[in-house]
């Protein structure tokens, strides 16, 4: 049985991961800025009759709050085995449509939220000599995804952070993985640019995204991929199959990948005119 923390656990990928953990008998702390949503998830998980779940309100942009929750879990349970730094938001729009507010929010949540989780969890795991940190990035962290480059930039940064930390941590008994999914059918896609100046991509972008990826992957399928990748201690957990194909294509021919992204931008601009 593992002791785990999942951020952004009230919905989507975080909820699916928390469900997979409890289903195998783990004890999970479901955290989210939406405390009521986190408690609802934890209550439902406690009906599975396997592992255990509790909930905690957590704003990942607050480093003190993150450290407090992580240290509190270690104090209560005596250890912290698994951390899923998963909380994030979607940013969409062409570069000329975006403001510095879009950039700042993406960096604060998608990047610094992960940094705060790593900064809180890593010392605990070093002291234990064991543990596994799993950071959620995106396929956008591996390919040149336009029309939301603050999101793309932060996800590239999370990939780099994770792989660099993995190299440092390997000799200390701590494992690090990064999750890079393609488009997943979650509330994230229906709430682009939350609380930010609107762009044509703001709000529910599922229809627009479906044009590029007609068959959205489910959070439940991704959670199975994540759990398998964690068991295998994979550095990069890339899913689904078409996401892995896109990643291979970028590695084989980066210039062609950029041209494909240019084509996608051209279609978007044409649709707007």
DSSP 123-168: HHHHHHT-EEEEEE--GGGTS---S-HHHHHHHHHHHHHHHHHHHH
Q: Catalytic residue positions?
A: 151
Sign of CA dihedral 176, 30, 87, 114: negative
Closest CA to 29 of 49, 59, 8: 8
Task: Answer for the pair 89, 194: CB distance below 8 angstroms, yes or no.
Answer: yes
DSSP label of 252: H
| Whole-angstrom distance, CA of residue 20 vs CA of residue 222 | 10
CB under 8 A, 24+ apart: contacts of 157-165: 157/111, 158/110, 158/111, 158/114, 159/236, 161/114, 161/115, 161/118, 161/135, 162/133, 162/135, 162/137, 162/235, 163/235, 163/236, 165/118, 165/122, 165/133
Instruction: Please state whether the peptide bond connecting residue 240 to the residue before it is cis, i.e. omega within 30 degrees of 0.
Output: yes
Beta bridge partners of 206: none
| Whole-angstrom distance, CA of residue 159 vs CA of residue 161 | 6
Closest CA to 224 of 40, 21, 11: 21
């Amino acid at each position: 049985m593992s002791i785990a923390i999942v951020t952004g656990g009230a919905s989507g990928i975080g909820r699916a991961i928390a469900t997979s953990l409890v289903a195998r008998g783990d004890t999970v702390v479901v955290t989210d800025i939406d405390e009521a949503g986190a408690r609802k998830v934890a209550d439902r998980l406690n009906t599975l009759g396997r592992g255990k779940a509790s909930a905690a309100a957590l704003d990942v942009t607050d480093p003190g709050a993150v450290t407090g929750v992580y240290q509190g879990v270690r104090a209560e349970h005596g250890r912290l085995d698994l951390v899923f730094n998963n909380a994030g938001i979607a940013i969409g729009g062409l570069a000329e449509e975006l403001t510095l507010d879009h950039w700042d929010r993406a960096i604060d949540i998608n990047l610094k939220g992960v940094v705060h989780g790593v900064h809180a969890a890593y010392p605990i795991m070093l002291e234990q000599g064991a543990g596994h940190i799993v950071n959620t990035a995106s396929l956008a962290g591996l390919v040149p995804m336009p029309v939301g480059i603050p999101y793309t930039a932060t996800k590239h940064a999370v990939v780099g952070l994770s792989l660099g930390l993995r190299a440092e941590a390997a000799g200390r008994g701590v494992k690090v993985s990064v999750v890079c999914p393609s488009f997943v059918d979650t509330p994230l896609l229906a709430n682009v640019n939350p609380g930010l100046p609107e762009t044509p991509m703001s709000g529910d972008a599922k229809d627009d995204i479906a044009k590029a990826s007609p068959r959205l992957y489910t959070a439940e399928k991704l959670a199975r991929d994540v759990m398998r990748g964690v068991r295998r201690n994979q550095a990069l957990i890339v899913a689904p199959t078409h996401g892995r194909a896109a990643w291979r294509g970028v590695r084989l021919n980066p210039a062609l990948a950029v041209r494909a992204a240019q084509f996608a931008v051209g279609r978007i601009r044409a649709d707007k005119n």
